[in-house]
Every structure is written in C-alpha cells, then in structure tokens.
Amino acid sequence: MRYAMAIDTRKCVGCSDCVVACQTENNVPIGFCRDWVSETVDGTYPNVSIELRSERCNHCDSSPCVRCCPTGASHFEDGGIVLVTHHKCIGCGACIQSCPYEARYSHPDGYVDKCTFCIHRVRKGEDPACVSVCPTKCMFFGDLDDPNSEIVNVLKNRKFKALAPEAGTKPQIFYLV
Amino acid sequence: MKTRRDFIKISALGLGATAVTAGAAKAVLGSSLFGNENENDAETLRRVATYCEVCFWKCAGWAHVTKDGNIKKITGNDDDPQCNGRLCPRGTGGVGMFSDPDRLKTPLMRVTKDGQQTYREASWDEALGFISTKMKDLKAKHGAESMALFFHGSSGNHFSNLMKAYGTTNLAAPSFAQCRGPRDVGFEATFGESVSSPEVTDIRDTKCLVLIGSHIGENMHNGQVQEMSEAIDAGAVIITVDPRLSTAASKSKYWLPIKPSTDIALLLSWIHVLIYDELYNKEYVGKYAEGFEELKNHVKLFTPEWAYGITTLKPDLIRKTAREMANASPSVIIHPGRHAAWYGDDVQRTRAIAILNALLGSWGNRGGIFFKEGIKIPEFPHPDYPKPAWSWKDLLDGKFPLANEAVTNSVIEASYPKEGKEARIKGWIVSGTNLVAAVPLKAELAKAMQSLELLVVVDTMPMEITGFADVVLPECTYLERYDDIRATAHREPTLCLRMPAVEPLNQTKPAWWIAKQLGERLGLGAYFNYKDYSEVLDWQLKQVGSSLEEMQRIGVKKSPRKTSPYIETGTDHQFKTASGKIQLYSHELAEAGFDAMPVFTQHPEPQEGFYRLIYGRAPMHTFSRTANNPNLVALMPENSVWINPQVAKIWGIKKDQYVWLKNQDGAISNFSVKVRLTERIRWDSVYIVHGFGHHHKPLRFAYGRGVNDTELITNVMMDPIMGGTGMRGNFITFLKEDPRKEIES
C-alpha cells in the first residue's frame, strides 16, 4: 500500500477551499496551515500562462524529516504516510529545516505539525478533507499499489510532475499538467 | 460640523459589543478559532441541515456540532445540485461567520451623552418599542410609503413581509441596480426572461463557453465553477474576454485581452461575422427569432477590422473565435455574466450577448441555456397586503422605464430634500447589506442618512452602515436560525432547509423573530400568525408533499422534472416575449425611446498617468461581508493592486510596496494597498478585489486592510434604461507617500 495524491493543475482555480477545509477538519490554528495554494506566472503580457497548485507535505518515500528527528516523533505510518507524534515531539525544528517543501510549522502548543493525509478519515475509507471538498474535483487520493485505483488511472493517462525532484526525497504528490 | 447622525464606532463604547478577551472568546468560541488537537471526534458530532448564507448561491450543507455546542465544521450536502456535496472556501469557512469575535451582541440605541452621540445597550423590548413607535408616527405623518427597506439575502424576505403588511413596497436590493439588473433587463428584452439565479447555463454539457469579463473561479459561484471544471475535462473550448488574465482566462483556449469599455464593439463584430459569413444557426433563427433583417442591416459595417481599431483585438482572432462558437452551435454559451453595471450602456451590452446566444441557437438546447423547473412554495396564510398609494416607480420621474425592481439609487435620492422639495422617504430598515460599501453614490448616501427620521440597521456584524443607525439590531447568523425554504428552480426542482445548528449567541435574534415582534407592536400580528417559524415551514412543506421532520433529516429534497429542459424536436416553442419570438430587434426598447439594437459608444479613456480601475472578486471572499471572518481573513487578509511591470517601471514602483490610489476626481483611498506586479494585466488598467479597506475599527481583522474600490468610484455612468450604476469609468493614479500625512504637517 502506498498512498499518494494527484492534483490537476488544469482544473484547480486556486480557491483555497482545501486550505480552509483542512483547517476546520484538523483544528489547525488560524494563522497556520497544513496546505496552501501556490501560483506561478510565466511569460510576459499578453503571452502569459499561470499554474495554480494546492501544496502540502509530499509524504516522501525518502524523508529527510523522519531521518533527522532526534526523538522518533516523525515517523512513517502504513501506506507511507509521514506523521508527527505530538507528545514525542520536543519542538526542536530540525525537521522544519530539512523539508524542501516548507510543509511543516511550529504549532503554538509546542510541537511540529503538518499534513497527515487526514489519516483519521482515510482509515475509515474516506478521502482527505481537502480532496473531498474541492469544488473542481481536481484532486485524487489513493493507493498507488492498487492498479484499479483512480489515482493510478489518472497518472497512467496524464502527463505529471512532482515538485523539487532534485531534492531526491521521492515526493508522493503529483501534479497533472 | 454638527450632523444629525455622527458616525459612531461601536467598539469605542466599553459595552458588551467591545472586544472580548482571548480567554472569554475561547469559552464562547470553543476550538474553531484557537485550535486544539482533536481529530477523531467525528462520531461525537451532531449533523444539522442548513444552507449557506455567505453568498447568494445558498449551497445546502451540514453544520457539524460538537457536544459543547460549538460548530466544528460545515460540509456540503451530496444531494444538492448547486454544490454536489462540495462547498466553496466561503461555505467551508462559514464557521467564521459564527465564531467571529466582533459580532454584534446586543441591540444598540443612539443617545447623546455630554454633547456626544454614542450608542448604549438596549433591551430588545426597548429597541423594538422605539422603532415601532417611530414607524407608527411616520405612517400617521407621511404615510406608510415613506418607509423603505434595503436588503440582501434571506433575511430580506422577513422584512419584506413586514414592510408590505405595514403598507410600503419600497423594497430595494443593491443586487439590481449595482449588479445583475442590466443583465436581467437585457435578456428579458430579448428572450422574455432572464437567466435567474443560479444561472440556467448548461456549462456542464457545453462545447464552447464564452466569458465576457466573467471570472468564474474567482467569482466562486459554486455550481458554475464545478461545471466549468467538468467542461474542461470534456474538452470544451473556452474563450475569455478580459483585460486581465483571470483564472478562467488562464484555462481558456483563447484569451482576448480587450481594451476595457469596448466590449460592445467586439460583440457587434462577432454578430457581423456570424451573419455575413453565414455561420449562424439558420434553422433556429428562422423558427424562433424576429428582426433578423433589421439586425443584418444594422451590423453590416461592424467588421472585425472596424472592431480591431476599437478593441485592440486582431481581426483574425475575432473571426477564429466566432467560428469556434459556430462550430459548437447550439451547444455554446455566451455567458450572460452577473455583475453587469459597468459603463452605463450595460443593458445594450447584455442585449448583444443575448443576440449572440440567439444567433447560435443556445437557449433551449443542450450545452446552451436550459429551461428551469422548480417547486412553488405556497405563502403561509395571511391577510391581503394593503395597497400602497405610491411605490418606488413613482420616484423615477419617468426615468429608467424598464426598471422592474426598485432602483436603490432612486430610493436613496428620494430620502433627502432636493430642489426645495421635501424628501418622500423618511425611514429605512437596512438588512444584510453594507450600503456604505455597496453603493457608489457616496455623497447622496451621506445626505440621505443625515436626513432620515429613522434608520434601523439589522446585521450580524458591525459593518460601516451600523455606525449611522438610530437603532442597531443584532441578528444571529444563518447557522443559528430558521429561514425560508430554499426552493430552487434549475435543472432539477430542489427544496433545502435551513435550521438552527446551535442557539443564537449573546442577545442575537433571527430576522423572522425581529420582523414578527415589530409587526405585533405595529398592530400587524395577523401577518405573523405563528409562534415559531418552524410552524410556517412545516405547513409549507406539507403543502408540497414533505414535512419539517423529513427535511430536518435529509436537508435537501429533489423532485423529478415534469417538463423537458430543452426544446423538444418537432414542437413549436414559444418564448416568453409578447410575440412568443426572440427579439433581435426590440420593439419594447424602440418604443421607450432607446436603440432597438445595440450600438457601440466610445467611452472616455484615462488621461496620461491614469489607469482604468477594474475590480472583481476573490474566491475566498463575498463582497465586504467576509472581510472580518477569521477563517477567510487567514486565506486572504487584504487586497492588492495589480499593476503591469512596465507601468511600475515608469513609476518606480516595486513589488509589495504600499501605495495610495487617487482617482480622476481627486478621491483618495482611505488606506494604502500592496502592489502586485503582474504580467496578467494590460498596461492601461489596474485591478483590485472588491470588499476590502474597511474603516470601521470594530472589525478588528478587516480594519485598514487594503482599499475599498467604491471609495474611488465617483464617476457613475447611469444606465438610462433601468438605472444601473456603471462603475468602470473611473481612472486612478498612484501616490507613493501618505497624502494625509503631508496635509497634517
């Protein structure tokens, strides 16, 4: 089992519903976020294009955050989900420094926090909150090891890319282009 | 200067309405504002049916309530075709409307203390008693018609009922003259009906979607955004006409960066190409339209080459895009848009859009514009309303002959003495609309608010308008109240229920209760013949084969259609015009003294050093009403002014620098605004998102953030046909230093 996400940049309108859904689902304190929207603009007027991306922890296969954690708070769960056990976290911030995606933040309660792929929902067979709320249905979540899953299907049929592949972390969020 | 109504900042009073401390707020708000780790509580949440009030789309959803009475989250109802189980960021962030620490908490009454006007807390009984005494007095002195209602949203229905029972039909919504009015009148003059809300555009099944300045995806009209996404998947051709590379433009096959204010020239040249290249849908036009020969003669000279000099769009691009539309006919939509009050000839522009749809055969065909079907909810029994001696129509003095809803600006202008004549309107109730930010005629609004004998504002938040009221009534949010059934006419007839998820916070009350209380005090109890609004809903739902109990369980009920959404082949469809035919040539407009077919008018262009002010929406905010919502402020705390880097170079303006904006009449923005340098906009225009720049300090998250575009809209181009306030004829320049600082020193 290998959980991953594919996000269709052709359909995303950058509305940030994923961000606010994550916030209410996971009680992320206001002023912080586990996911966010990036915009890249290319070209000069009038030959301009933009790409909108909903970004979050890439739940990397080769995760520097897990490697550098001195207490074992950052760890892998089933399906490759990278999690932080809050009560084991001492808030040293080494993982924040090591992440090439700036996906982690210091929670005001003293621990490091980030996207969990909504593991509490996934275990019940639901999609993560961001995926389930997206008005454009531009996000796909699923198991890369299941050949019949929707995510495998879209990745087979569409061009895609990952962010900062040069970091060598083997990210598991794919952007359909 | 001593004024009748000093503007009062509600926070400065040391009342219940001032800021609560963080500790107290946590007790009231629970976790949604402050956050804690409690991710696995889904089983303990109670699910309550609601529909959203953060915008007019009114998506049905579920409020998820914790055991201690806090609203943890709101999700969409899978059965609602307006949202398909997926709310937009504002709907998801609707929890912030409930948890906002700056909400109005108690009734407030204007009093003079030590020579200073201020508010003091009042009981509901006292506040309602004051208003009803004043209203009785106004009725006796000036007639009931001297009262007017300004409204937006669901609460308006309750106050409309009150006002009609009281004896006035002066019920004005900014959504007509400031927004969709020109579009509706233009479509009615062509097809005999407009496109409704939610719009009956069949985007889901279209092959070609043409957007004229409509920025779907930034205007987060949920169902439309969802359908545009489906259309992208299905490979539909999208053509976007916009001086800015909007999100929709970035997803389009063709982006036409038109010179602003020249849309009618482009539309006429498209009509020219369709007719003279014989690309129009001949069968449809022959069967359903009249006035084709007149139209053909009219557009003879409006070639793409003619339009090029006006619009800056290349003739081959105009031809190519016209062919794309024709190829898709009749599964093509020239989108009617929504906010259409741009240049004062807006009915004529939307007429041109409607004519294009007619030539392509889109109305009544799959992938075009479909026929809606809905369920009519019967009115709860009440005595007949009294017939008023006069209405808002009598305020128009023969102007705006096609206005079919009250024109806000005319009602405002009738609210102060003019040319020696006494004001005809003496009192206002304002419900759910921050007129100060919504209406561009600031001087007239200010005069009116100083002249009124009674100004009551009902709102959930201390918006700027509340500072001018005699009495402020704190309404509870949509999450704490019953409202009317949402009976939507669209692809499928749909009923949705809104019920209280939690008890109203503080002293806040639902609009139905406020209206009923006022009604009873005015001796109009017979119009409010129920104890609780749930009785009205249960009675109404039972008339249409449901019940309150059923709707509380399911939230949304869909019914199968009885009629076809499209013209059935072989039938002779009658449109809702007088002749039953689509009006390419409008006799109605000609008889009223207007152009029977759209004509291009050259509008003023910016002077050197000035840029056209274009404004629009962001997906995470609704007008100015969400600017203090903690959850949505976190997504977008302020607006920015979009400037092309070439322009910024001339001015020496850097990225993220804060500048003040000054318009052609010398109006200067209240606050400074952050610069966004972007290639996504023309050199002759700047863009800001509407709804920011609040100057009311009680709005702690919104105060002083960004600029309010309506401060800079001093040139209003009135649509003579229906009274729309065209707002895009304003030009701004940049001030790099604080202009007010200079004045002080």
- What is the per-residue pLDDT for B4? 66
Query: Which chain B residues touch A110 with a CB distance below 8 Å?
Result: none
Domain layout of chain B by residue ranges = 192-372+571-591, 611-744
| pLDDT score of B23 | 33
- Using a CB-CB cut-off of 8 Å, the residues of chain B touching A20 are 89, 92-93, 620, 631-632, 634-635
Q: Letter for the amino acid at B720?
A: P
Contact B195, B214 (CB under 8 A): no
Contact present, B700 and B322 (Cβ < 8 Å): no
**Least CB–CB distance from A135: residue in B73, B225, B247:** B225
Nearest CB partner across the interface for A24, out of B72, B83, B636: B72
pLDDT of residue B441: 86
CB of A109 within 8 Å of a chain B CB? The answer is yes
Interface test with B, best of A7, A10, A12, A20 (most B CBs within 10 A): A20
Cis amide linkage into residue B598, ω under 30° from 0:
no
Reply yes or no on whether the pLDDT at B26 is more than 60: no
**Nearest chain A residue to B91, by CA:** A17
Considering only CB atoms, which chain B residues are within 8 Å of A138?
229
Note the pLDDT of residue B546: 97
Share of chain B above pLDDT 90, in %: 91
Rounded to a whole number of angstroms, the distance from the CA of B652 to the nearest CA of chain A is 19
**Chain B contact for A52 (CB, 8 A cutoff):** yes
Q: What is the pLDDT of residues B664-696, one digit of tens each?
A: 999 999 999 999 999 999 999 999 999 999 999
N-terminal to C-terminal alpha carbon distance within chain A: 25
SS3 state of residue B72: strand
**Which residue shows structure tokens 């070439």?**
B646
DSSP assignments along A13-78, one per residue? ----HHHHHHHHHHTPPTT--SEEEEEEEEEETTEEEEEEEEEE----SS-HHHHH-SSS-EEE-G
Write down the pLDDT at residue B27.
37
Give counts: helices (H), strands (E), chain B.
Answer: 26, 27
DSSP conformation class of B260: T
Among B95, B245, B630, the residue with its CB nearest the CB of A48 is B245
Beta bridge partners of B237: B208
Alpha helix ranges (H) inside B462-545? 511-521, 533-543
Q: Give the closest-approach CA distance of B246 to chain A in angstroms.
A: 10
The pLDDT value recorded for residue B63 is: 98
B25-34, B199-208, B361-370, B431-440: lowest mean pLDDT where? B25-34
What does the pLDDT read at residue B41?
58
* Cis upstream peptide for B243 (omega within 30°): no
Neighbours of B13 (CB within 10 A): 17
**Is A17's CB within 8 Å of B87's CB?**
yes
Backbone phi and psi for residue B328, each to the nearest 5 degrees, phi listed first: -85, -15
* pLDDT tier at B14, thresholds 50, 70, 90: very low
Assembly ipTM: 0.96
> For residue B587, what is the enclosing H or E element?
helix B587-591
Q: What CATH number does the domain located at B611-744 have?
A: 2.40.40.20
- Direct distance between the N- and C-terminal alpha carbons of chain B, in angstroms, rounded to an integer: 23
Considering only CB atoms, A135 lies closest to which of B40, B86, B255, namely B86
Global confidence as pTM:
0.94
Give ∠ CA B267-B645-B619 in degrees, rounded to 5.
60
Q: How far is CA B508 from CA A106, B9, B21, B103, B480, in A?
A: 37, 19, 19, 9, 9
Q: In this complex, do A13 and B247 lie within 8 Å of one another by their Cβ atoms?
A: yes
The answer to whether residue A157 neighbours chain B at the CB level (below 8 Å) is: no
Confidence of residue B740 (pLDDT cuts 50, 70, 90): confident
Q: How distant, in Å, are the alpha carbons of A147, B105, B528 from that of B94?
A: 38, 18, 30
| Res B264: pLDDT | 98
Fold of B192-372+571-591: Dimethylsulfoxide Reductase; domain 2 (3.40.228)
pLDDT for B43-87, tens place per residue?
689 999 999 999 999 999 999 999 999 999 999 999 999 999 999
Task: Classify B115 as helix, strand or coil.
Answer: coil
Contact A17 B88 (CB under 8 A): yes
> Contact A45/B76, CB-based, under 8 Å?
no
- In the A/B pair of chains, how many CB contacts fall below 8 A? 144
Cβ of B38 within 8 Å of Cβ of A28? The answer is no
CA-to-CA distance for B97 and B477, rounded, in angstroms? 7
User: Closest chain B residue to A50 measured between Cα atoms?
Assistant: B250
* Pairwise CB contact (< 8 Å): A17 & B681: no
CB contact under 8 A, A13 and B683: no
pLDDT in tens, chain A (177 residues): 999 999 999 999 999 999 999 999 999 999 999 999 999 999 999 999 999 999 999 999 999 999 999 999 999 999 999 999 999 999 999 999 999 999 999 999 999 999 999 999 999 999 999 999 999 999 999 999 999 999 999 999 999 999 999 999 999 999 999
Residue A84 touches chain B, beta carbons under 8 Å: no
Q: What pLDDT, on a 0 to 100 scale, did the predictor assign at position A32?
A: 95
Give the domain CATH number at A92: 3.30.70.20
d(CA B272, CA B424): 48
- Residue B498 is classified by DSSP as -
Q: Which DSSP string do the residues of B374-389 spell out, in sequence order?
A: --PPPPPP-PPPPPPS
| Burial state string for B71-94 with b = 16 or more CB within 10 A and e = fewer than 16 | bbbbbbbebbbbbbbbbbbbbbbb
Interface test with A, best of B250, B479, B642 (most A CBs within 10 A): B250
Q: What is the pLDDT of residue B272?
A: 98
Contact across the interface for A135 and B72, Cβ inside 8 Å: no
Residue of B nearest to A10 (CA): B251
Nearest CA in chain A to B312: A46
Distance CA B710, CA B152 (A): 18
Mutate to test the interface with A, among B75, B95, B229 (most CBs of A within 10 A): B229
Closest Cα in chain B to A121: B40
Between the alpha carbon of residue A20 and those of residues A28, B93, B253, the distances in Å are: 9, 6, 31
Interface contact flag, B87 A10, Cβ < 8 Å = no
pLDDT band at B742 (very low <50, low <70, confident <90, very high): low
Contact B679 A41 (CB under 8 A): yes
CB contact under 8 A, B631 and A133: no
For residue B36, is pLDDT > 60?
Answer: no
Note the pLDDT tens digit of each residue in B622-652. 999 999 999 999 999 999 999 999 999 999 9
Best B36, B43, B78, B92 residue to mutate vs chain A (most A CBs within 10 Å): B92
The residue behind tokens 């705390």 is B637
Contact (CB, 8 A) for B226 and A137: yes
C-alpha to C-alpha distances, B587 to A126, B192, B544, B590, B594, nearest whole angstrom: 58, 12, 40, 5, 10
**Measured between CB atoms, does A43 come within 8 Å of chain B?**
yes
For residue B743, pLDDT beyond 90: no
For residues A123 and A143, give the distance between their C-alpha atoms in angstroms, rounded to a whole number: 12
Number of domains within chain A: 1
Q: Does A45 touch chain B (CB under 8 A)?
A: yes
Contact B247 A14 (CB under 8 A): yes
- The answer to whether residues B432 and B151 touch, using CB atoms and an 8 Å cutoff, is yes
Identity of the residue in A23, A109, A137 whose CB atom sits nearest the CB atom of B631: A23
Question: Which residues of chain B lie closer than 8 angstroms to A128, CB-CB?
Answer: none
Contacts of B620 in chain A (CB under 8 A): 15-16, 20
The predicted structure's pLDDT at residue B412: 97
d(CA B430, CA B127): 15
- Mark yes or no for CB contact A138/B226 under 8 Å: no
pLDDT score at A176: 98
Q: Which of A11, A43, A49 sits opposite B229 (nearest CB)?
A: A11
The conformation of residue B475, written as its DSSP 8-state character, comes to B
State the residue for tokens 């575009």.
Answer: B709
The residue type at A41: V
The answer to whether the Cβ–Cβ distance between A46 and B255 falls below 8 Å is yes
Question: pLDDT (tens digit, 9 = 90+) per residue, B601-611?
Answer: 999 999 999 99
Contact between chains at A13 and B630 (C-beta distance less than 8 A): no
Q: How many CA atoms lie within 13 A of A90 on its CB side?
A: 7
Q: What is the mean pLDDT of chain B?
A: 94
Confidence of residue B8 (pLDDT cuts 50, 70, 90): confident
CA–CA dist B430, B554 (Å, integer): 33
Chain A residues whose CB is inside 8 A of the B86 CB are 17, 132-135, 137
Angle in degrees, CA B465, B471, B472, rounded to 5: 55
Structure tokens at B72: 């943890």
Length of chain B: 745
Cα gap A168→A160, rounded to integer Å: 17
Tell me how far apart the alpha carbons of residues B365 and B332 are, in angstroms, rounded to a whole number. Answer: 9
In terms of residue numbers, what domain contains A9?
Answer: 3-176
Residue type, B373: E
Summarised one tens digit per residue, pLDDT across range B427-469 is: 999 999 999 989 988 899 999 999 999 999 999 999 999 999 9
